[in-house]
Amino acid sequence: MKKIGALLICSVLLFSMTGCGSAASKESSDSDTSEQAIESIAESGSEMVESAEDDNDLAESTEQDVEEKTAVVCFSATGNTMAIAEMIADETDADLFEIIPAEKYTDEDLNYSDDECRANKEQNDPDARPEIENDLSAVEEYSTIYLGYPIWWGTNPRIIQTFLDIYDLSDAVIYTFCTSGGSGIEKSISDLQTLYPDLQIVTGKRLNNASENEIKEWVNSLSD
Ligand SMILES: Cc1cc2nc3c(=O)[nH]c(=O)nc-3n(C[C@H](O)[C@H](O)[C@H](O)COP(=O)(O)O)c2cc1C
């Protein structure tokens, strides 16, 4: 924009100088008019520069809106996974969000030795989507998400699917983590990747009783 302004000023100067040379005897009102024209072009040139500067300000503020931000999002029925979530949030300087079920899980609900317990019934029903109590729409603005859950019957609890169905995380890189009685996280990752092919669910780790150092190592390994 600055260049265009400068070019315009030069053209007008050239034009007015040529005009002066060929008609030196012209009335002074003519040169007044040329001077006014130059002033007006110069002014519009500086306006253009100002407007370009405004555009730059706008670009900077847009860049800030899409800056790198990390969130840890966690569902935990009995606290094990939440303890890990807090450590990851500390380590990565992330904001922590809890997925809170609208209907809390009681001990009875979680008694998986009973076929009829609520958690087992939900896991046996592929369409079960336990309701979430809290608004988690803010997570859509994060570019990196650590998603944590306990393993239930070898995979993620259905409420994780409620979460992924509601919110659009297609722009985020997602890492999962879990705690469990012994099962690995792998099946839950492949289940989620199959169900949500548009999401970037990259990798994950079972982090039972992980130390700060183990969490640090894992988190650092993701950015290598
Ligand atoms: C309904 C239900 C099913 C579970 N299924 C498994 C399983 O398949 N494999 C396993 O290793 N642990 C299983 N567990 C144990 C939990 O994964 C484990 O206790 C976990 O640390 C609980 O995390 P939380 O305290 O964050 O809820 C199950 C627990 C529940 C309640």
What local confidence, expressed as pLDDT, does residue 224 receive?
A: 75
Expressed in angstroms and rounded, the spacing between residue 105 Cα and the centre of ligand 1 is: 13
Given a contact cutoff of 8 angstroms between Cβ atoms, the answer to whether 121 and 84 are in contact is no
What local confidence, expressed as pLDDT, does residue 103 receive?
A: 98
Q: How far apart are CA 94 and CA 72, in angstroms?
A: 6
Expressed in angstroms and rounded, the spacing between residue 89 Cα and the centre of ligand 1 is: 22
Residues of the chain with pLDDT under 50: 1-34, 37-38, 40-42, 44-49, 51-52, 58-59, 61-64, 66
Q: How far apart are CA 87 and CA 74, in angstroms?
A: 12
Which whole-number Å values give the CA distances from 161 to 108, 123, 131, 146, 147, in the listed order?
A: 22, 11, 10, 15, 11
Nearest CA to ligand 1 atom 29: 152
70-222, which class in CATH? alpha beta
Is the distance from the beta carbon of residue 77 to the nearest atom of ligand 1 less than 6 Å?
A: yes
Q: How far apart are CA 170 and CA 140, in angstroms?
A: 9
Q: How far apart are CA 14 and CA 20, in angstroms?
A: 10
Expressed in angstroms and rounded, the spacing between residue 212 Cα and the centre of ligand 1 is: 22
Token pair of 165 as six digits: 């169905």
Is the distance from the beta carbon of residue 111 to the nearest atom of ligand 1 less than 6 Å?
A: no
Which whole-number Å values give the CA distances from 162 to 1, 64, 145, 174, in the listed order?
A: 50, 30, 16, 16
What local confidence, expressed as pLDDT, does residue 23 receive?
A: 35
Expressed in angstroms and rounded, the spacing between residue 94 Cα and the centre of ligand 1 is: 25
Nearest CA to ligand 1 atom 28: 152
What local confidence, expressed as pLDDT, does residue 156 receive?
A: 98
Is the distance from the beta carbon of residue 152 to the nearest atom of ligand 1 less than 6 Å?
A: yes
Ligand 1 probe mutation, 151, 153, 177, most atoms within 8 A of CB: 151
Q: What is the CA radius of gyration of the chain?
A: 31
pTM: 0.75
